[in-house]
Amino acid sequence: MGKTISAQREVQLIDLGRISYADAWALQTKLHRAIVERKKQGRDQEQTIGQRDYLLFCEHHPVYTLGKSGKRDHLLWTPQQLAERGIEFYAINRGGDITYHGPGQLVVYPIWDLEHFKTDVHWYIRSLEEVIIRTVGDLGLHAVRIKGYTGVWIDGHPMRKICAIGVHLSRWVTLHGLAFNVNTDLHHFDGIIPCGIQDSDKTVTSLAEELKQNIPMTVIKKHVQRHFEEVFQIELIPTSLP
């Protein structure tokens, strides 16, 4: 069992709006490095108690990202096809395989020190899933976990993945996060084998696909914010870039 910190903690919420993957990755890296470097300088309680944790909200321009355990041949479209569709590609250091980010998808990056929460990666990933399960439940859909698969699924035949999760940790400081399909163009998933999953009984979906209507992203962000506060026992403080 990991160490647990029970006191509610303030976390800085930064809404980046629509942003390129490269710019968001650079910001994540900057914030992550600052937290890690501060931890390296000293481990006593006074030095960590004033340290800021961050939660980033954003949407990306169309992009495929390949995790460090992924296979390049899970990208099905050629460089020319990607260029024709305006889709970028990055190989990155998160866990997991290949996924898609784009407009209409809420991407959430927690950049925080799990020593302020609970030093347990399994708990952390299950908690991220719980945020989305509760959010989807607010809208009348039944979302579940599938044993052996990370992420959140809509129960049925086939099982439909609505949220992908991929994380990276260094000195218990988190990087990357979750991608929640809200009003996402699902045709862009045709260019990849999403998350490397080729099972015939599993596919991808979005809130818009399930509800047959577009839900404003502003509404979804409020639900997700509230459930992050509940699940992780934090207070999110809207702020601008540091």
Selection from 91, 39, 83, 89 nearest residue 67 by Cα? 91
Instruction: Report residue 210 as tokens.
Output: 């399930």
DSSP H helical ranges for the chain: 21-41, 45-49, 79-85, 121-138, 207-211, 217-232
- Structure tokens, 46: 């006074």
Helix, strand, or coil (residue 99)? strand
| Annotation marks residue 163 as catalytic | no
3-state secondary structure of 69: coil
Q: Report whether 181 contacts 204 (CB < 8 A).
A: yes
Distance CA(186)–CA(46), nearest Å, equals 47
- Checking DSSP bridges between strand 63-66 and strand 98-101, what pairing results, if any? antiparallel
Distances (CA, A) of 180 to 4, 64, 153, 208: 27, 15, 11, 12
The kind and range of the H/E element at 236 are strand 234-238
Task: Determine which one of 66, 75, 195, 217 is catalytic.
Answer: 195
* Backbone angles phi and psi of 125, in degrees to 5: -65, -45
Catalytic positions, written as ranges: 195
